[in-house]
A and B are shown apart, each in its own frame.
Chain A
Amino acid sequence: MWGVAAGAVGALALWRLHALGSGRNPDVVTGGWLLLSVLALALYGARRRLRVLPLGPASAWLALHVIGGVACVGLYLVHAGLAWPSGAADQALAALFLVVFVSGTVGHLLQALLPIRLTRAGDEIIYERIPAEIARLRAQAESTIVEAASACGHDTLGTYYAQSLAWYFDRPRFTLQHVLGTAAAQAWEARKLAAVERLLDPRERASLAGLAHLCRAKRAVDVQYALQTLLRRWTYLHAPAAAAFLVMAAWHSMAAFVYSR
């Protein structure tokens, strides 16, 4: 498929040179092919919403979307060249094309790389179930604290939990650090648990060990949340920019057609 796409773009580039040599204006044809290709790429978004129809595997659509996206860069260069346009409308169109291409490339790389990190992080959780999993870990942590307080007769661990660790179990934390792959969350946990350990009696220390285990489980959930969120959020730039580009491209095509008369 890559060869077919490269051949098609190369043939159009050769045809453009021939047309220029014979005194014809090739821009309507090259622009038309570019617009058609971009519309075809937009069908991928529609395919994702029409899961019930037998339209072939999503992986094949994604491969076509990626190959078509790279081919569109070639078509764009054949149509507009490397020079940055001087008109405001054309500049907006070129900037949107750049944003769509760069965000799509970054997103494709993320989709290739992040699943490896998710697998290494272990204990993969369906994204929509992460809130329930955090609630479960929070309930277990609170139950551990209550049991420790009733067994020991004082609430040193409970007070400390309310002051510092409750924040950690409230929602996903250290999202950026997990995306960057730093050990900030692990260091924070170790610091917080070590700070209270020397204040506890042996029975409370057993509860603290249970709490440390829950902290590790919470960290694994946070890693899943951070990476899976990134896998979704890049589309918040790519899809709206693509939608704006389609509108601008349609407008540009209409204006070019009318003004060519």
Chain B
Amino acid sequence: MDDPRITSRSDRSPYERPNLGWRCGRAARWDRPCAAGPGPDGSCPHRDGPCRPRRAHRRRLGLLSLGVALWTLAMVVFLMTDLADRAGLPSSLDAGPLSPAHAIATADLGCAACHQADGAGLSGWVSVAM
């Protein structure tokens, strides 16, 4: 158990916890990480020659997933607006073309011929849903 890589004693080996949000900036540059490691807020405790701690894998994955979810939500909302429509972008309500028989029946009014919610805005959606 002298090998520092395999010892599990906290007083003899660095205690690297994968669930911590930050990792030492020196380790990110493939150098030996500081014994103290970064603080919970991602700050380096060293005053002389502080490093720039990096986000750990799990923290990065969480932020990436949250960012993608928010971006998707923003795109869904944007693609409903007139601005996106004028730009020729597909609507987030685009359910595809209708069958020929339905296309003739709804030629004048469009989707609103059958669906009250179409073009009613958010308040219209709420009233239709209720």
Residue ranges of A at the interface with B (Cβ–Cβ < 8 Å):
45, 48-49, 51, 85-90, 123, 125-129, 131-136, 170-172, 232, 235-236, 239-244, 246-248, 251, 254-255, 257-259, 261
Q: Nearest Cβ in chain A — how far from B130, in angstroms?
A: 10
Count of interface residues, chain B, beta-carbon cutoff 8 Å:
45
The answer on a CB contact under 8 Å between A258 and B30 is no
The answer on a CB contact under 8 Å between A88 and B76 is no
The answer on a CB contact under 8 Å between B23 and A128 is yes
Q: Nearest Cβ in chain B — how far from A165, in angstroms?
A: 15
Q: Which residue of A lies closest to B90 (CB)?
A: A88
B67: A residues at CB distance < 8 A: 240
B82: A residues at CB distance < 8 A: none
Query: Which residues B34-84 have CB closer than 8 A to chain A?
Result: 57-58, 61-62, 64-69, 71-73, 76
Q: Nearest Cβ in chain B — how far from A214, in angstroms?
A: 15
A125-B5, A243-B66 given; A135·B32 CB < 8 A: yes
B94 contacts partner chain A, Cβ-Cβ < 8 Å: yes
A255: B residues at CB distance < 8 A: 92-93
The answer on a CB contact under 8 Å between A85 and B5 is no
Partner of B61, one of A87, A135, A239, A241: A239
A236-B64, A261-B117 given; A133·B5 CB < 8 A: yes
Q: Which residue of A lies closest to B89 (CB)?
A: A88
**Distance, CA A255 to CA B5, complexed state (A):** 55
The answer on a CB contact under 8 Å between B116 and A126 is no
B100: A residues at CB distance < 8 A: none
Q: Nearest Cβ in chain B — how far from A156, in angstroms?
A: 27
Q: Which residue of A lies closest to B77 (CB)?
A: A251
The answer on a CB contact under 8 Å between A259 and B68 is no
30 CB < 8 A contacts A-B: A49-B58, A49-B62, A87-B94, A88-B91, A88-B92, A88-B94, A89-B90, A89-B93, A90-B94, A90-B95, A128-B23, A131-B26, A131-B30, A132-B14, A132-B33, A135-B31, A236-B61, A239-B65, A240-B67, A240-B69, A243-B68, A243-B69, A244-B68, A247-B72, A248-B76, A251-B73, A258-B117, A258-B125, A259-B118, A261-B128
**Distance, CA A172 to CA B28, complexed state (A):** 12
The answer on a CB contact under 8 Å between A87 and B96 is yes
B108 contacts partner chain A, Cβ-Cβ < 8 Å: no
B109 contacts partner chain A, Cβ-Cβ < 8 Å: no
B18: A residues at CB distance < 8 A: 127-128
**Distance, CA A261 to CA B65, complexed state (A):** 33
**Distance, CA A245 to CA B67, complexed state (A):** 13
**Distance, CA A128 to CA B115, complexed state (A):** 56
Q: Nearest Cβ in chain B — how far from A143, in angstroms?
A: 14
A134: B residues at CB distance < 8 A: 30
**Distance, CA A126 to CA B62, complexed state (A):** 22
Query: Which residues B114-129 have CB closer than 8 A to chain A?
Result: 115-118, 125, 128-129
A258: B residues at CB distance < 8 A: 117, 125, 128-129
The answer on a CB contact under 8 Å between A248 and B72 is yes
